[in-house]
Amino acid sequence: MGEKIVEARDIGHAYVRGRATLRGVSLGISRGELVAIVGENGSGKTTLARHLNALIPLQEGELSVTGIDAGDPSRVWELRRACGMVFQNPENQFVSSVVGEDVAFGPLNFGADEPEAREAASAALSAVGLAGFERRDTHALSGGQQQRVALAGVLACDADVIVLDEATSMVDPRGRDELVRAVARARDERGTTVIWITHDMELAARADRVVVMREGEVAADGIPADVLA
């Protein structure tokens, strides 16, 4: 396949010295791919994901995302813009209770002026099916809508890679489907690369590729039909 947008080589990590949470993780992801990462609780999925936008500094190995070296502290902000995250609990990731302000926060933070940021926010809200939601209260939205606001926040920054870490686990089936559709649309229209961490095997089955984590290692990596069989 084409250009590798994520390249991890032999990543090792331990929160506590001597207790490895990641052991020699190597992974290449091509631009535009939709990769599901599955695996038991505690297998290291979130730890790996947090490396991708420097929420966890690299201890061992090599990692580049969109050509940015994740081991280079001077490029943390560039990396965070290139690779956005949507977490399990949207409430924890809002910086404003006003939808439009929340979505505009990223672009502002990355140097856009007010009108540019507002425009990027409105475009991103439209892209996730929430056009006209700018003045709504984030707390008054459904879980699914909240996750789409979080996704819009990432899209407004023009992220090349989106990591969703159990983003649908607190959302009802309808909310899940709406989020899936919004992500699919971002892929189609922007060529966004998607890394979807999930325990939902139905979701994983629809990915281009499934990576199975086990005890801090990549235990399997291939097309859903092979890996999930």
Ligand X SMILES: Nc1ncnc2c1ncn2[C@@H]1O[C@H](COP(=O)(O)OP(=O)(O)OP(=O)(O)O)[C@@H](O)[C@H]1O
- Site residues for ligand X per CB under 6 A: 15, 21, 39, 41-47
What 3-state class would DSSP assign to 103? helix
Vertex 195 angle, CA 193 and 201, to 5°: 130
DSSP category for residue 223: -
Backbone angles phi, psi at 13, to 5 degrees: -155, 145
**Residue burial 55-84, b: 16+ Cβ < 10 Å; e: rest:** ebebeebebbbbebebbeeebeebbbbbbb
Query: Whole-number minimum distance, CB 39 to ligand X, in Å?
Result: 6
Of Mg ion, ligand X, none, which one sits near residue 43, judging by CB under 5 to 8 A according to partner kind? ligand X
Q: In whole angstroms, what is the distance from residue 145 CA to residue 149 CA?
A: 6
Query: Whole-number minimum distance, CB 50 to ligand X, in Å?
Result: 8
Paired tokens of 143: 């879980």
β-strand partners of 8: 27, 63
Burial label for 190, CB within 10 Å (0-12, 13-18, 19+), is middle
Among 21, 46, 138, 147, which residue interacts with Mg ion (rule: CB under 5 A)? Answer: 46
Judged by beta carbon, residue 46 or residue 168, the one nearer Mg ion is: 46
Of ligand X, Mg ion, none, which one sits near residue 21, judging by CB under 5 to 8 A according to partner kind? ligand X
Judged by beta carbon, residue 46 or residue 53, the one nearer Mg ion is: 46
Paired tokens of 97: 């209770």
Of ligand X, Mg ion, none, which one sits near residue 15, judging by CB under 5 to 8 A according to partner kind? ligand X
CB 105 within 8 A of CB 98: no
Query: Whole-number minimum distance, CB 80 to ligand X, in Å?
Result: 19
DSSP category for residue 60: E
Judged by beta carbon, residue 64 or residue 169, the one nearer ligand X is: 169
Judged by beta carbon, residue 41 or residue 74, the one nearer Mg ion is: 41
Angle of the 99-109 helix axis to the 114-127 helix axis, nearest 10? 120
Stretch of 16-24, 43-51, 143-151, 187-195 lying at the interface with Mg ion (CB under 5 A): 43-51
Of ligand X, Mg ion, none, which one sits near residue 144, judging by CB under 5 to 8 A according to partner kind? none
Query: Whole-number minimum distance, CB 31 to ligand X, in Å?
Result: 25
Query: Whole-number minimum distance, CB 135 to ligand X, in Å?
Result: 34
Query: Whole-number minimum distance, CB 202 to ligand X, in Å?
Result: 17
Judged by beta carbon, residue 123 or residue 219, the one nearer ligand X is: 219
Angle of the 143-155 helix axis to the 173-190 helix axis, nearest 10? 20
Judged by beta carbon, residue 47 or residue 66, the one nearer ligand X is: 47
Per CB under 5 A, residues contacting Mg ion are 45-46
